[in-house]
Chain A
Amino acid sequence: MPRGYAGKFLEIDLTNEKIKETRFSDEILKQYIGGRALACKILWDRLGAKWEMIGPLGPENLLLALTGPMTGFYPGPRICISGKSPQSNGIVGSTVGGEFAIELKCAGYDGVIVTGRAQHPVYIFIMDEKVEIRDARHLWGKDGKQSIRLINKEIIAELESERPRKRMWREPGIIYIGPAGENMSRIAAVEQKWTHGAGYGGYGAVMGSKNLKAIVAKGTGPLPDPKDYEKVKELLKKVVEYRLMQDSMRRWGTGSGGYAVGAEMSSEPVRNWQEEWHDKKEFGVDAFERRVWLKRYWGDYGCPTTCLKVAAVLRGPLKGAITDNPDYELQAYLGTNLGIFKPEENVYIASISDDLGFCGIQLGNVMGFAAELYERGILTKEDLGFELKWGDARTFGRLAQMIARREGIGDILAEGTYRAALKIGEMKGLDVTKYAVQVKGIAVGAHGIRSGLDYPSPIAYACNVQGGDHTSVAEFPPPDFMGFMDSAVICAFNSIRPREIIWEFFNAVTGWNMSMEDWNKTIGPRMLAIQRAALLIGGPDLGWDPRVDDDNPPRFYETLPSGPKAGQAGDRKEVQKKKREWFSYLG
């Protein structure tokens, strides 16, 4: 068996309450590694033949939670969540940081494959050899903070009651959903630790559709042995030293971007992307630091970077909001995109988004979309039940609650921006998809292409097998390196240059002799081919026509009204040219 793997996966059939262990051959692991690429293999083998018929929110879909061989060894553990995506109807590998992956691997499993649908809300408890499906009716309806609180209390009380007592027990690793996932909102995330979400893909809704509130893992063993521990230790030291030198990233995280990306790069969504520029200095990271930061460094198991910051609002009308300080994406989507430029209000919305279990990007995108429709008079006070004005944090908070519980207009917006646009268009008898800033059912991350000053290329989203995902965009030449990080299942914010060191690390763990070349020429394209095929087959509710849908959102072809690149827009000819190059390269 290759090293670095625990060697077995758990397969849990919620319909029949059956639990078994599954193994993959060395060949399959070598060809698909783990995480996203392995998810493609599993999904394609099991569902590929009838992909079009598989309802992402039906019991026939799978929910996958997969580690990779490097998870736990390389700094920054994540778990890759996948399945047929209720956003794109394709396959998204959506990773989320936290201790769950470590606990799972120390319990002896590389991943969990969940099938079927439970009769009533349940959670899965995994502790070493013990695996159980447990009642979660008392947890259903609880927000993120309460879910974690109750699960921790329950598990710790149980472990502490064991005799003889072996230790004071600490919290397990938990992946869970909030009310948004329970109510099968397609923009619901699978969460960890209050604030971390696997957002892209909408797998919170898949868990909800299975009546699965959480998967809880506690492992008391060591990580499985890598091939060469001495080498792993040496490389780990190297990576940690390198990361500790990335002092700006450590000190500010990506949250330094809320002002700078707008003001300088002009690629930040402002009021549903009507602009990508702002000059609101009061939204600068220095203000966040003084006004809302409580903890300067926060991170997950074995992370030297600790780029997260804990933030809270401790007084005033928004008192009680706690979250990790919104990173760049959420400063943009739950800030500027809603016309919000106050740190406290941004923290307030982010905290609500966390608690309800949303992907903050998808939520900010769909609420911005709704606010623009209100501004244009397409959605009215009668449709919403209230006025929806840019910058009105309280009302956006209320709207988020309605979306999570599918109340009123929230029921439509819970479907995500694209599907909401189709429904509202039908209701109003006009095409509103031109205001939907999304690609293939997935809201575009908060880095625009129009100014040309930010990293995404003109086809970054248009050709992306993960739709609007900004973390793993269509890179040129393909395939994207993020696909590898999502398959080895490690954190991109702990990467090191030169990248060869990551491969050296990978080989020291697995005992293989792979190189970037193997990924670029074989494994990566194989993964992308499956993702692409699944995406184009789509179904059952929506499919994508490559001639129409391999494209940017219409808004990206409107000219930027403000900022250093005012008057500039996406160039259709350039997009066509790059698209041809990309597809001919991929073959």
Chain B
Amino acid sequence: MSSSQTNPIWIARDFYNCSGCRMCEIVCSLSHEGKIWPEASRIRIFMLIPTLEIPHLCAQCHDYPCVDACPTEPKALSVDNNTGAVLVNREMCTGCGLCIEACPGDVPFLHPGDGKATICDLCGGDPQCVKICQEGRWNALWLVKKAPSINYKLYAKKPSEVIKEMAYHLYGDKAKELI
């Protein structure tokens, strides 16, 4: 449960502000991989319909279905006691993909290099993606302290679902032709 963490934080995502610049992906893959590597970035911007950009990253659900689903013993997936991020023990992970299936938003992915589950670790409490997004004044990503009144799991959604809502909201009836 989120209440059991010492400093639970969350990355709020404002889809309509996302410019699609993907600076967040660059800083994410540089800090985690030491390289520019779009498909290894823990935050991935989906652009299924140009102009409707969707930051896709872990929502840190209160019940962590991905951790539940992890079949190894001990589990490769665990929760960071401090931030509430899902941590992956790459030694333990077998790359079975059950965490992807368990996630309501299909957020985890198997790393294109080592084939292990890959999930946002909130950079240990100081997410680089949020920093650059704020520096650039796009404000698509915000860092907030988790509050008990919010069900963060609601945000664990597939971009293919979200995009319909966005298209109608932004373009009205025209959305029919774009989806």
Contact = CB atoms under 8 A, between A and B. Distances in A.
Contacts of A244: 135-137
A216 to B, nearest CB: 14
Nearest to B112: A220
B48 A171 contact: yes
Contacts of B37: 106, 221-223
A167 B100 contact: yes
A302 B171 contact: no
A102 B37 CA distance: 10
Given A106-B39, A297-B138, A320-B174, A170 B21 contact: no
Given A297-B138, A298-B51, A168 B38 contact: no
A295 B36 contact: no
Contacts of A194: 50-51
From DSSP, what is the main secondary structure of chain A's interface residues? loop
Given A168-B100, A304-B21, A222 B26 contact: no
B100 A149 contact: no
A521 B105 CA distance: 55
Interface string A308-348: 00101010000110101000000000000000000000000
Contacts of B29: 222
* Interface size class, chain A: 35 or more
Contacts of B62: none
B109 interface: yes
Contacts of A229: 34-35
A170 B46 CA distance: 6
Interface string B17-50: 1011111011001100111111110001011111
Q: Which residue, of A170, A225, A314, A319, has the highest number of chain B Cβ atoms within 10 A?
A: A170
Contacts of B178: 145, 149
A170 B44 contact: yes
A166 interface: yes
Nearest to B96: A164
B48 A152 contact: yes
B23 A304 contact: yes
A302 B172 CA distance: 30
A349 B23 CA distance: 32
B123 interface: no
Given A165-B97, A225-B35, A312 B19 contact: no
A304 B135 CA distance: 10
A284 interface: no
A324 B158 CA distance: 26
Contacts of A319: 172, 174
B49 A149 contact: yes
A145 B69 CA distance: 39
Given A225-B35, A298-B51, A145 B46 contact: no
Nearest to B174: A320
Nearest to A148: B50
A222 B50 contact: no
Contacts of B143: none
24 contacts: A102-B38, A149-B49, A165-B97, A167-B100, A167-B109, A168-B106, A168-B159, A193-B47, A193-B50, A195-B50, A221-B112, A222-B37, A223-B36, A229-B35, A240-B132, A244-B135, A297-B17, A297-B21, A300-B21, A301-B21, A302-B21, A302-B36, A312-B174, A320-B173
Given A166-B112, A171-B48, A221-B37, 15 more contacts: A148-B50, A149-B49, A167-B110, A168-B56, A168-B109, A168-B159, A193-B47, A219-B38, A244-B135, A294-B170, A298-B20, A301-B21, A302-B23, A306-B19, A310-B51
Interface of B: 16-17, 19-23, 25-26, 29-30, 33-40, 44, 46-51, 56, 96-97, 100-101, 106-107, 109-110, 112, 115, 132, 135-138, 158-159, 170-174, 177-179
Interface of A: 72-73, 99, 102-103, 106, 145-146, 148-149, 152, 156, 164-168, 170-171, 193-195, 219-223, 225, 229, 233, 236, 240, 244, 294-295, 297-304, 306, 310, 312, 314, 319-320, 322, 324
